[in-house]
Amino acid sequence: MRIGLLTGGGDCPGLNAAIRAVVKCAENAGDEVVGFHHGWRGVAEGEGATLTTADTKGLLQTGGTILRTALYHPDAHEGGTEAVLATFERECLDAFVVIGGDGTLGAALKLAGLGVPLVGVAKTIDNDVSGTQRCIGFDTAVATAAEAIDRVQTTGESHDRLMVVEVMGRTSGWLAVCAGIAAGADALCLPEEPVDLDQLAKAIGRRHEAGSTSSVVVVAEGALRDQPKEGSAGTRISNGLAERTGFETRLTVLGHIQRGGPPIASDRLLASNCGIAAMHAVHSGAFNTLVSASDTTTELVPLNVVALGPRPVPPALLTVARELTVH
């Protein structure tokens, strides 16, 4: 078989581990993998090249994606979909393995509807793709953010400061909740819940009256999305709390540090599992599917699950966060 492979959307740790697994599994079966650069854009532009296990040597531990990535939806570009279909024919492909978040997988779903045989694998540090428990890259981002919050906490404590840390998550609080709980954040501001700055400032004030001399507030970048936008969520919450509490306040924006660097072991395992599961799906003709992954197992679910939109943070996890923070 000839399999087209691409990574689309924002990068994350573990993409190379997934690429390695796909290529190894394909070679074991005598298949050929054509790697396309820059996601669906590379497919539309015919930017494909054969990938062998020699190309994947040493990849397991590395960050980023050797295939590069881009935010590109074929149907948002004139002739984009036709160009993808033409590449599929010209390259004599039998299937695509598509590694992406909701945007890239949403584009895959449309192409599957046009008869393109493909299997999806979910990746994003936002962990919000519907149909799977775990997305490649999330665990590493949680570990990175939690470690950064730990560091912010000790400097905040030394200076008796209110420390605000903004983490990624445009529409979803998965990363903020998990990193916040793991690092012992004192308060959380999430896209899932309205933020009342007056109430939060009072709660932090009470914490300090009770003896605390510093606090850490973790903010998802999508927090305050119910309020008119003027600056980033981190800036607005940091300024708002400084004004209301009178505490010396500092803001740290973690940014793309959360997406870069090597994957931790659990992401390497997840990405390896997903890559192999995707290839086994291809071999058994189980197309138009998504590899749905939990800690150590995978199963296939219909790809149209991605059309459900972002997977919400479970209420039970929000309850844990509420018990452990002030609000």
How many chain residues bind ligand F6P (CB under 6 A)?
9
Which of 7, 65, 87, 124 forms a contact with ligand F6P (CB under 6 A)? 124
106 belongs to the binding site for ligand F6P (CB under 6 A): no
Nearest alpha carbon to residue 168 among 109, 256, 81, 252? 256
Which of 4, 8, 10, 234 forms a contact with ligand F6P (CB under 6 A)? 10
169 belongs to the binding site for ligand F6P (CB under 6 A): yes
Of the residues 11, 31, 126, 128, only one is catalytic, namely 126
Q: Which amino acid is at 322?
A: R
The 246-265 site mask, x for binding ligand F6P (CB under 6 A), equals -------------x------
Least Cβ distance, residue 11 to ligand F6P (angstroms): 8
Question: Among this protein's residues, is 11 annotated catalytic?
Answer: no
Q: Which single residue brings its beta carbon nearest to ligand F6P?
A: 10
Residues in region 210-249 near ligand F6P by CB under 6 A: 221
Residue 124 vs 238, nearer CB to ligand F6P: 124
| Torsion region of 195: left, alpha or beta (phi above 0 gives left; psi -120 to 50 gives alpha) | beta
Distance CA 91, CA 99 (A): 19
Which of 3, 59, 98, 125 forms a contact with ligand F6P (CB under 6 A)? 125
298 belongs to the binding site for ligand F6P (CB under 6 A): no
192 belongs to the binding site for ligand F6P (CB under 6 A): no
Nearest alpha carbon to residue 320 among 189, 207, 180? 180
31 belongs to the binding site for ligand F6P (CB under 6 A): no
Which range binds ligand F6P by CB under 6 A, 49-57, 124-132, 286-294, 313-321? 124-132
Least Cβ distance, residue 93 to ligand F6P (angstroms): 27
103 belongs to the binding site for ligand F6P (CB under 6 A): no
Residue 51 vs 141, nearer CB to ligand F6P: 141
Least Cβ distance, residue 176 to ligand F6P (angstroms): 10
Residue 48 vs 100, nearer CB to ligand F6P: 100
Strands annotated E in 59-108: 95-100
168 belongs to the binding site for ligand F6P (CB under 6 A): yes
Give the footprint of ligand F6P on this chain (CB under 6 A).
10, 124-126, 168-170, 221, 259
Active site residues: 126
